Amino acid sequence: MRKTTALALTILITVFVFCTVSVAQPGGDIVAGQISPWRNAHFVILAYGAVWVGLALYVLRLAMLARSLRRELSALEELASDSE
């Protein structure tokens, strides 16, 4: 499970970096309202990517917390059964 999540995150980040690099213009950033509106696309990809990665990391944190609580619960159950 952890390996799959790590792999999925790695793929997500790689695609995200690749898209950003591929749309970034060698001429540098430009102020809006000039020439092609697509020239600033890498900022949009970075911003949307940051939101998705941020949310994915938080969901992963919740999953890890749930897992650690499950472990703690089974440890307590074992402790209780031992004392009986």
Partner 1 sequence: MESGKLSRTRWTRGIWIVATVTVIAGFAVSIYLVFISTGIERNLGFSQKIFYFHVPCAWITYLAFGIAAISSILYLIRNNQVWDSIAYSSIELGTVFTTLVIVTGPLWARPTWGAYWVWDARLTTTLILWLIELSYLLLRAFVEEPEKAAKYGAVLALLGALDIPIIHYSVVLWRGMHPVVMQSDAGGGGLPSEFFVALMISLATFTLLFFLLLTVRVRLELVRSRLTNVRNRIFEQGLA
Nearest distance, CB of residue 15 and partner 1, angstroms: 15
Which of 11, 66 has the CB closer to partner 1?
66
Which structure tokens are listed for 32? 């809006």
Q: Footprint of partner 1 on residues 58-77 (CB under 8 A)?
A: 58-59, 62, 65-66, 69, 72-73, 76
In 24-40, where does DSSP find H-type helix?
none
CB of 11 to partner 1, least distance (A): 19
CA separation for the pair 4, 14 (Å, rounded): 15
